[in-house]
């Protein structure tokens, strides 16, 4: 999910997690609209927010882990 306004982000994020998806959140301090990542972080849908520069690495790690049956980076502490 790239964005959400109002309850869209938390509701959509919960739906993603309910079917086994993972959420990655931008550090609120970097965000133009910090309430967007904060809303899914507060619900516990994200283990740890990360800098935007790190998001592509986390996505790549998750894909690689799923293709080899390992634990994805999004289940580990993001940095």
Tell me: the pLDDT tens digits for 49-58?
Answer: 999 999 999 9
pLDDT tops 70 at residue 60: yes
Is 62 within a domain? Answer: yes
- Give the pLDDT score at 5: 67
Is 31 within a domain? Answer: yes
Number of domains in the chain: 1
Is 13 within a domain? Answer: yes
Is 45 within a domain? Answer: yes
- Give the pLDDT score at 47: 80
Catalogue the long-range contacts made by 65-74 (C-beta closer than 8 Å, 24 or more residues apart): 72/22, 74/22, 74/23, 74/24, 74/47
Is 2 within a domain? Answer: no
Residue with tokens 């283990």: 47
Is 3 within a domain? Answer: no
Whole domain around residue 57: which residue ranges?
8-75
25, 41 Cβ separation under 8 angstroms: yes
Helices (H), the chain: 8-18, 35-42, 55-68
Tell me: the pLDDT tens digits for 35-49?
Answer: 889 999 999 999 889
């Amino acid at each position: 999910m790239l964005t959400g306004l109002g309850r869209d982000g938390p509701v959509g994020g919960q739906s993603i997690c309910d079917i086994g998806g993972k959420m990655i959140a931008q550090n609120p301090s970097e965000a133009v609209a910090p309430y967007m990542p904060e809303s899914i972080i507060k619900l516990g849908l994200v283990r740890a927010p990360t800098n935007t520069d790190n998001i592509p690495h986390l996505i790549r790690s998750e894909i690689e882990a799923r293709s080899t049956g390992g634990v994805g980076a999004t289940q580990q502490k993001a940095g």
